[in-house]
Structures are given as C-alpha cells and as structure tokens.
Amino acid sequence: MTADVLLHMDDGVLVVTINRPAKKNALTAQIYTALADAIAEADRRDDVRAVLLQGEGGNFTSGNDISLFVNGQTSGPEESPAGRFLRAVIALHKPMVACVCGHAVGIGATILLHCDYVVASDDARIRFPFVDLGLCPEFASTLLLQQVVGRNKAAEWLLLGATIPAAEAHRAGLVNCVEPLETVAEAALSIAKCLAAKPRQALMATRGLMREATEALVKTSLQREMVVFDSLRQSPETQEILRRFLERAPVRAAART
C-alpha cells in the first residue's frame, strides 16, 4: 500500500483516504492500484461492513494526474490501474459513502454515481471536465448521470463542464446532504457507521436488488466509454490540449469555472 492511500478501521467501516494533498489528491497509477486493492480487500473481509472514501488536506480529488494521459500508456484501458479501480468499485457488494470536500473533479465526480451516500462540504466544487480536455466521460457516467439528475442537467454538466457548487449538486440529487466544512468528516463517518450497523444480509440484498436492473447496462457503458476515452486520448488534438495543460499554457478548449 502506498503512503498516498491511507487505510484504517472504525467500527466496521474501512476508511480509505487519498493522501496526496500537495497535488490536490490527483490520482496516479500507484494510487489507482492501491485504491483497487483496498476496495477488493474490503469486499473480501468479514470485518468490513462499509467503506468511506475521502481525501486529505481539504480536497476530495482533483481527478487524474494529467501526465497519465500524455502518450506513454501501452496497456489497454481495461488493464490499466484506473480500469482495475473502476471494476473493483462496480464489483463491491458493501455500501460505500463518499466525503467530498473542496475539489471533486473528473473521476472524483463520476465515482459519486457509484456511492450509496454522498456527504459534501459547503465548499465542495464538483466538475466533469472531460470535453474541455478532449476526452469523454468515464465510469459509466454517460449512463448513470442522466438517471440521477435527468438528461438536461446531465448534458449541461458533461458538455459545458462548468463547476457545480455543492448546493446545486444537492438540489439535483447527486449529493445526499451538505454539511459545514468543520463537521462534514464527522457526518460522513456517522452515515458509514450507521450503514455498517445494519443487518448485513438484508443491507447487501437490498443494495444488490437496487443495482440489479442496471448492472449489465453499467458494465456495457463502462466498457464502451473506456474504448472511446482511450481513442480520444491518443488523438493529436487531445495530446496537444493535454501537453498545453501540463505546461500551464492557454488552450483553445479552456476550462469553464
């Protein structure tokens, strides 16, 4: 386990903390691997009854470290560390709670669609920046976001890529509740502990039944998005955008904030 991902148990809850605060918890290949291992371990362990995902240092995650996307990737998208993480989350049979503070960008936004409860701080800012980076959304978000917030709002968020304040995300249904920054971690842990204390078989059965109808669609959407994402990532247009992003130079598809 890398020092960039911290794990600890608290009353049946496996607390998973992304710990790269100097980079706003941007995700590297090593972090993806550690997160995939932690989620798979949580699914196997009898003493883990719920998972809480959070970020250290005032941010949830600013998404992928952009350097991951600039050339270099030789394995297929499904074999990548990110692909392993996506599949581990989808395969998880136990409830997962997200504690969202500060920036929740890219995969930091799309993972919320796979959580059973999302607690956001009042300073949280959620963003789906894929189009501005020359990419398409991932994590079956082109399917799930429409189901959660409706087609028009999903189109607005995915196509325009504007920053979404916590209050707006709450009104649209992406976030369950908004808490003051000072108490959000406590509130999220309380929800996770509440889920962990529920009758285990009934909780897992109910969660499974809720997801059963869309399980095949989610997997198909995830696979299709991976293929399109990787094709776009390798295109000259996207590589130029990403290189300019890394150089902090202006890009034509400038991000809306």
- Give the number of other Cβ atoms within 10 Å of residue 256's Cβ: 11
Q: What percent of the chain has pLDDT over 70?
A: 93
The C-alpha atoms of residue 175 and residue 118 are separated, in whole angstroms, by 5
- What are the residue boundaries of the structural domains of the chain, listed by start? 5-182
The C-alpha atoms of residue 68 and residue 90 are separated, in whole angstroms, by 22
Predicted TM-score (pTM) of the model is 0.93
Q: Is the pLDDT reported for residue 63 higher than 50?
A: yes
Q: What percent of the chain has pLDDT over 90?
A: 89
Nearest to 110 by CA among 160, 59, 184, 60: 60
Confidence of residue 139 (pLDDT cuts 50, 70, 90): very high
Residue 64 · residue 32 · CB < 8 Å? no
Q: pLDDT for 148-184, tens place per residue?
A: 999 999 999 999 999 999 999 999 999 999 999 999 9
Q: Is the pLDDT reported for residue 132 higher than 80?
A: yes
Which whole-number Å values give the CA distances from 171 to 149, 153, 157, 176, in the listed order? 9, 11, 14, 9
Residue 225: CB partners within 8 Å, gap ≥ 6? 136, 137, 138, 139, 140, 141, 142
**Where does 101-161 show beta strands of DSSP type E?**
103-105, 117-121, 125-127
CA angle 116, 125, 57 (to 5 degrees): 85
The C-alpha atoms of residue 12 and residue 190 are separated, in whole angstroms, by 12
> Between 81-91 and 29-44, two packed helices, what is the crossing angle to 10 degrees?
20
What pLDDT sits at residue 252? 45
What pLDDT sits at residue 179? 98
Confidence of residue 1 (pLDDT cuts 50, 70, 90): low
Query: Sheet of 50-55: strands edge to edge?
Result: 5-10, 13-18, 50-55, 96-100, 117-121, 177-179
Over residues 111-128, mean pLDDT: 98
Q: pLDDT for 180-208, tens place per residue?
A: 999 999 999 999 999 999 999 999 999 99
What pLDDT sits at residue 257? 32
What pLDDT sits at residue 2? 80
What pLDDT sits at residue 74? 46
Write down the CATH number for the domain with range 5-182.
Answer: 3.90.226.10
CA angle 48, 50, 52 (to 5 degrees): 115
Q: pLDDT for 215-257, tens place per residue?
A: 999 999 999 999 999 999 999 999 999 999 988 754 444 443 3
What pLDDT sits at residue 248? 77
Over residues 31-43, mean pLDDT: 98
Confidence of residue 77 (pLDDT cuts 50, 70, 90): low
3-state secondary structure at position 125:
strand
Task: Identify the bridge partners of residue 98 per DSSP, sorted by sequence position.
Answer: 53, 118
